[in-house]
């Protein structure tokens, strides 16, 4: 994975060089406008990730994941606070009702947001929110279970104490 800004520039330059051979854009145009570069990458039906990876001493999976999971998310930013609130509310409600959070659910959820987000930005926010809410729910259940066990033990202990008292009377 890229470790520095210099590494990122090397990767982007290789991508731009390839794109300049199959589009009408120059390397400089693509390097100066990362959204243009991304648009051109996304328009390609087949992109030589394996070739780029071999040039960079990275696997195909590493270069692909870096591009889509890191570069694109940094390029397009994160979801704004108001939309994150909607996302949390709707996922929480769906979890409480046992709704299947499939593609249809996600599409309906996207329509409630204030703007269209890049696919990866939405997917990461959706999955992170869903996972976080599930963890919070599990902790709450765990704490409640702990309280129930404590209360149960108290009742049992008081009952045992009461029986002992009755035996000695």
Q: What is the pTM of this model?
A: 0.63
Give the separation between CA 33 and CA 15, rounded to whole angstroms: 13
Nearest alpha-carbon partner for 130 in 157, 151, 100 = 100
pLDDT tens, position by position, 40-50? 999 998 999 99
**pLDDT, tens digit (0-9, with 9 covering 90-100), for 5-26:** 668 999 999 999 999 999 999 9
Domain ranges of the chain: 5-76, 81-167
């Amino acid at each position: 994975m890229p470790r520095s800004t210099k590494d990122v520039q090397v990767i982007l330059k290789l991508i731009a060089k390839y794109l300049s051979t199959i589009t009408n854009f120059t390397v400089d145009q693509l390097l100066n406008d990362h959204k243009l570069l991304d648009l051109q990458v996304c328009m390609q039906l087949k992109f030589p990730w394996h070739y780029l990876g071999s040039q960079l001493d990275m696997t195909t999976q590493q270069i692909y994941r870096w591009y889509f999971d890191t570069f694109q998310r940094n390029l397009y930013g994160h979801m704004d606070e108001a939309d994150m609130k909607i996302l949390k509310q709707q996922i929480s409600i769906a979890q409480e009702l046992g709704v299947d959070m499939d593609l249809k659910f996600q599409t309906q959820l996207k329509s409630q947001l204030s703007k269209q987000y890049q696919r990866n930005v939405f997917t990461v926010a959706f999955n992170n929110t869903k996972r976080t809410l599930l963890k919070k729910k599990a902790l709450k259940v765990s704490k409640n279970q702990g309280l129930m066990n404590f209360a149960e033990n108290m009742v049992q202990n008081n009952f045992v104490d009461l029986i002992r008292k009755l035996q000695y009377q």
